[in-house]
Amino acid sequence: MEKHPDHPDRVAAEEITEAWASYAEVWFQGHSELYTQWCSRTATDPDLLGRVATLPEDKRTPLLVFAAARYLGCGEVPFARFRAFALERWEEVAGVVLGHQVQTNEPARCATLLPALALVAERERRPLALIEVGPSAGLCLLPDLYSYQYDGGPRLGSGTPLLRCATSGNPPLPDRLPEVAWRAGIDLNPLDGTDPDTVRWLEALVWPGEAERLANLRAALETLRQARPRPVLERGDLNERIADLVGRAPEGSTPVVFHSAVLAYLSPADRARFSRTVRGLDCHWVSNESFFLDKAGDTSPASREGYFTLSLDGTPLAHTGPHGAELHWLPR
């Protein structure tokens, strides 16, 4: 019997079902009720699974599929209407998926990165040269231009957006923002945050129901538009270009290489190579990922499911919310 082209074989279907069900439970649940519904229902829908299975393996993430549908005009609607939209316009949805990447540019992650950056600034007593791996449009390269409020306390800084973060474990919160001398990033596909179509895609990547995230994104994009000079964003492979960027940091500054939710998109070999490379450079290294990268370049999952591990120079510091809303400092 000939297989229908829109229906995956049994193994592919089981893999996609497991992956999407896990995404619904681990990442969407408690953050986006609508995406939890869409994701869990898609995981058991043969017609939608069939469409998803036609995509390349690295494009089968719900983040891409859902963002593509919303980019094309699918509103925040119940699953049945999303399903009808996706099936009717699948060729368009697939086209957007194939032409885009998950480049969520979440400025609120700066609230969880800031304590690590402040520790470096305090130790070195020099301005920072920030070098981000996978910067998307570069919004996380502007931590000194935003403002922060931890646990409802006093406001730190005067810029916008105001980023709010809940903490535990008595983290060493800074009383002033670090001075930044230079901002640069390397990305396979750097985004222009002043381009309307790019802004439309970045907004589609924000999960439904997270109004504060959307407001933060829009405010951060305005801060980026006004920033002078703007971050230097260069196209290329992180393993090929990172040493060059570190070497271009201004004299008298402290280079800091950092990244959030990036290394999961690399192969194990490329992650190990990156670990070796960055440890051999004259810089500090701040990592905020869903796993911990050890000295050998091997990964181990964050010990708190649904959270990232924030580390400085290879030492874990905290578990962080994936979108910057939580910072849980680890015992020293």
Q: Over its length of 332 residues, how does the chain's per-residue pLDDT go in tens digits?
A: 233 344 445 557 788 999 999 999 988 998 899 999 999 999 999 999 999 999 999 999 999 999 999 999 999 999 999 999 999 999 999 999 999 999 989 999 999 999 999 999 999 999 999 999 999 999 999 999 999 999 999 999 999 999 999 999 999 999 999 999 999 999 999 999 999 999 999 999 999 999 999 999 999 999 999 999 999 999 999 999 999 999 999 999 999 999 999 988 888 899 999 999 999 999 999 999 987 655 555 455 555 778 999 999 999 999 999 999 999 999 98
Confidence (pLDDT) at 302: 52
Q: Which domain holds residue 165?
A: 107-329
Q: How far is CA 87 from the centre of its chain?
A: 28
- pTM of the predicted model as reported, rounded to 2 decimal places: 0.90
Examine the fold and report which residue of 99, 116, 133 is the final residue of a domain before the chain moves on.
99
Do 84 and 140 belong together in one domain?
no
Q: How many domains does the chain contain in total?
A: 2
Of 67, 99, 131, the residue that ends a domain is 99
Whether residues 90 and 116 fall in one domain: no
d(CA 45, CA 212): 31
- Within a domain: 3: no
- Are residues 240 and 136 part of one domain? yes
| pLDDT, position 13 | 75
Whole-number Å distance between alpha carbons of 210 and 214:
7
Q: How far is CA 207 from CA 4, 47, 66, 71, in A?
A: 32, 23, 9, 12
Boundary-marking domain end, from 60, 78, 99: 99
Distance CA 251, CA 256 (A): 14
Domain co-membership, 81 together with 113: no
> What's the CA angle centered on 54, arms 49 and 58, to 5 degrees?
95
- Flag whether 2 is in a domain: no
Query: What's the pLDDT at 118?
Result: 98
- Provide the pLDDT for residue 2: 31
